[in-house]
Amino acid sequence: MLQKEKLEKIPLRVIMITALFCSLSFIQCKRVDEAPMGATDFRIDLRDARNLNLATSGGWEYYTGGYNGVVVFNQGWNFVAFERACPINHNCKVEVTSSFSILTCPCCNSQFINTDGSPIQGEARSSLRQYIARYDGVRFIRITSF
């Protein structure tokens, strides 16, 4: 009788282990294509010499904060801010290219436009996360995730 009970339990164990393995395999193979967003709240003083490039139309600057850094663009005194973490590889920081209007991930070569962070080339299908950029019209820009 003991052997019969063991035989009945073995198939159930095998089924459970197989189901668990298949579930884990599916989860690991799931493609992540969404840029993370870190909680951030900081102020930029446009009169500070460190922000001189951002104080001119068409300028941009990198800042610490967010999940993997923040890049802020001056689009004719309308400021936009994006998370630098790539939607494909969150550890890679997108970089502004020489054209100043494109951000490129050095890991997967995905490219994003600086107006709204949408992908224009490469593996990424999701846009970069955009932070709220509030300009007071005189001197300060506040970058927040809320």
**pLDDT in the model for residue 8:** 54
Amino acid at 126: S
**pLDDT in the model for residue 23:** 47
**pLDDT in the model for residue 144:** 97
Q: For 72, phi and psi rounded to 5 degrees?
A: -120, 135
Sign of dihedral through CA atoms 119, 61, 94, 97? positive
- Confidence class of residue 137 from pLDDT cuts 50, 70 and 90? very high
**pLDDT in the model for residue 21:** 46
Q: How many CA atoms lie within 13 A of 37 on its CB side?
A: 17
Q: What percentage of residues in the chain have a pLDDT greater than 90?
A: 70
Question: What strands lie across the sheet with 102-104, from one edge to the other?
Answer: 95-96, 102-104, 111-113, 119-121
Residue 146 has pLDDT above 90, yes or no: no
| Cβ proximity of 43 and 32 under 8 Å | no
pLDDT in tens, 81-133: 999 999 999 999 999 998 789 999 999 999 999 999 999 999 999 999 999 99
Q: What percentage of residues in the chain have a pLDDT greater than 70?
A: 78
